[in-house]
Amino acid sequence: MGAQPDRAARLDLVLDRDGPTCIWCGREFSALVHPTTEHVVPRVKGGPSWLANEVAACRRCNAERGHRTPVDWLEECLRRGWPADEPRLVRTLTALAAAIATAGGQRRARPYLDGQLRRLGRRAGGAAGQRTG
């Protein structure tokens, strides 16, 4: 992966890619609901600071998630009755797996990412857990 855009530019790119809502609670971003970029695979788990590893989340969800896994937080959001965007999470994790396969490296992130994709695949009963590459 080459040089990444700065934080503000990455936020704009993520919003353009994913739309103006929080992936976790579904709230639309506004003057009262501020968007942030959030690493889907946390940095502490080896997640890269790549655009492919970032989604738009409101400050509340970003702070409350902490270091929970994406699937754990997805399930907590759904338990709370929030319209978490599971298809967006699947797309993001799948795209990140493809980016890692292309760029190489990321030894710490790979098993974490594979585990999350498997869990999502079991939740959906579908192909999300099948990693290519």
- Express each pLDDT in 26-62 by its tens digit: 999 999 999 999 999 998 888 998 999 999 999 999 9
The answer to whether 27 touches 19, Cβ cutoff 8 Å, is no
Mean pLDDT across the chain, nearest whole number? 90
| Percent of the chain predicted with pLDDT > 70 | 91
pLDDT tens digit string along 57-80?
999 999 999 889 999 999 999 999
